[in-house]
Amino acid sequence: MIYRTFTLTELPLDYQTADIKDTLSFATTGAVSGYEISEDYLSPKNSTVNMIAKSDAVVGQILVLIDDMGVYAMGVITAVDNEKLQIMFRDILELFNDEALNPNRAAQNNDGMQITYLYDGILNTAEILRVLYLGDVDKYRRLPLLVATSGGGITNGEYNEPAVWDYTDNSFNVRNWLTDLFDRNNIIVQARLVFETNKAYIELSIFKNTTSGWLIKNNIPTLKIEQSEDRSPKATICQVVYADDNKEVVPNGTFYLLVDNTVVESKEYDRDTTGKYAQRVQPHRLVVQEFDKERATQDNAEGKPYAKPQTIAESALKYKDFATYISIEIDKNSKMYPKDMRIGDSITIVSKMIEMQKDTEIMSDSDVEKYTIATVFTGRSEKSDNSRVQLTFGKIRVLYTDVMYLESYSKVRR
């Protein structure tokens, strides 16, 4: 195995486009004596490469690990220690570990970032990344990106993939925002390197994760599955407020979370005598969310999808998709190991195998759900001197440091 590093350089004018003005240029290479990879979309960690000899690699360059099959891992260099002959790196989204002006602050809005409380989680996300990192921006922030999207748009006056922007400070961390977008809305950003004749760039794919995809069965020799589930609500009641003309905070509705993971306004629930609503989730945990009523009214007048108190409450209260932690240990030399699986891919895990007989009745959908788990691939951990690979699925974590990290970024500027 070898490593190669790439640095960002400006393209000659003849090869520049309106968006891509830079390229990835080869910097250095070397042999690898060992590695330890720790990838986690939700809680980023350092991976380590052990080198044979000292390296000219520097922090900020893009590192690619290459084996006989091609790219094995890649990321952004975070440290180089030539005394210990080690390079540390994090996944490619570390390029976006950067503060940016909050586009929801009126004085900081520009033509490409017209973001209000409600926005298109796919198309507007792509636009924000383009505005921040492409075209005529500071060349020290600029990145060679090709941003592709799948999904999004508007149907019947509503966003197909609505997302709620509730950052209130003057700036926001771009990486934390992308992580939060996946955590709350299931919208993933995948990256790969593309090398063409005249330039090399990073291709980003932004899409909504689905519940279909890879299939992993519990019939692989030495496969170990560990599973836990989180159904404890962070909040069960949402009080939506807005600021009136005198900047006074005015209530704009109270909403309850129900056990079927729906949200209903309190005045409807409290007056219901027909029993059509499910029970409320307990215990009483209140969250207060602010509503930009003036901007919502303006968006409505312009014919755009606009935020409603109900939308804001649902974003704050509803359970997340894939609120599970699943850890699978598998031999990376096994033919059943899904080597092409990428972080963010949808996975169905068959946790229990059933032997079907000739007279076995066909299982219903509810029966199938007892033996299968719909989840998403979010991390892997492996070492070069160990054939076992730990694959992580789902959106919750059980290690204390990971739990603290998830809680810290979810509270930032809220």
User: What single-letter amino acid sits at 129?
Assistant: L
| N-terminal to C-terminal alpha carbon distance within the chain | 44
Residue 229 confidence (pLDDT): 60
Assign 3-class secondary structure to 185-228. HCEEEEEEEEECCCCEEEEEEEEECCCCCEEEECCCCCCEEEEE
Q: Are 63 and 5 in contact (CB under 8 A)?
A: yes
- Three-state DSSP at 15 gives helix
pLDDT, tens digit, 9 for 90 and up, residues 343-386: 888 888 776 544 444 555 554 555 555 667 778 889 999 999 99
Confidence category of residue 231, pLDDT binned at 50, 70, 90: low
| Beta carbons within 8 Å of 225's beta carbon, 6+ residues apart | 218, 326, 327, 328, 349, 351
Domain ranges, ordered by start, for the chain = 1-208, 214-231+322-409, 237-317
User: What single-letter amino acid sits at 120?
Assistant: D
pLDDT, tens digit, 9 for 90 and up, residues 307-320: 888 888 888 888 77
Bridge-based pairing of strands 214-217 and 346-350 is parallel
Confidence category of residue 227, pLDDT binned at 50, 70, 90: low
Q: To 5 degrees, how large is the angle CA 320–CA 325–CA 329?
A: 150
How far apart CA 85 and CA 191 sit, in angstroms, is 28
| Beta carbons within 8 Å of 319's beta carbon, 6+ residues apart | 231, 233, 261
pLDDT, tens digit, 9 for 90 and up, residues 275-300: 888 888 888 899 988 877 777 777 77
Q: Could you tell me where the beta strands, DSSP code E, fall in 258-396? A: 263-265, 286-290, 324-331, 346-350, 372-383, 388-393
Compute the mean pLDDT over every residue in the chain, rounded to the nearest whole number.
Answer: 83
Residue 202 confidence (pLDDT): 95
pLDDT, tens digit, 9 for 90 and up, residues 28-80: 999 999 999 999 999 899 999 999 999 999 999 999 999 988 889 999 999 99
Assign 3-class secondary structure to 100-122. EECCCCHHHCCCCCCCCCEEECC
Q: Are 141 and 158 in contact (CB under 8 A)?
A: no
pLDDT, tens digit, 9 for 90 and up, residues 105-131: 655 555 556 666 788 999 999 999 999
- Considering only CA atoms, which of 164, 207, 118 is closest in space to residue 317? 164
Q: Kindly state the percentage of the chain with pLDDT values over 70.
A: 84
**Exposed, middle or buried, 64 (CB in 10 Å: 0-12/13-18/19+)?**
buried
Whose structure tokens read 């790219």? Answer: 71
Structure tokens at 413: 């500027």
How far apart CA 389 and CA 207 sit, in angstroms, is 27
Confidence category of residue 409, pLDDT binned at 50, 70, 90: low
Residue 414 pLDDT exceeds 50: no
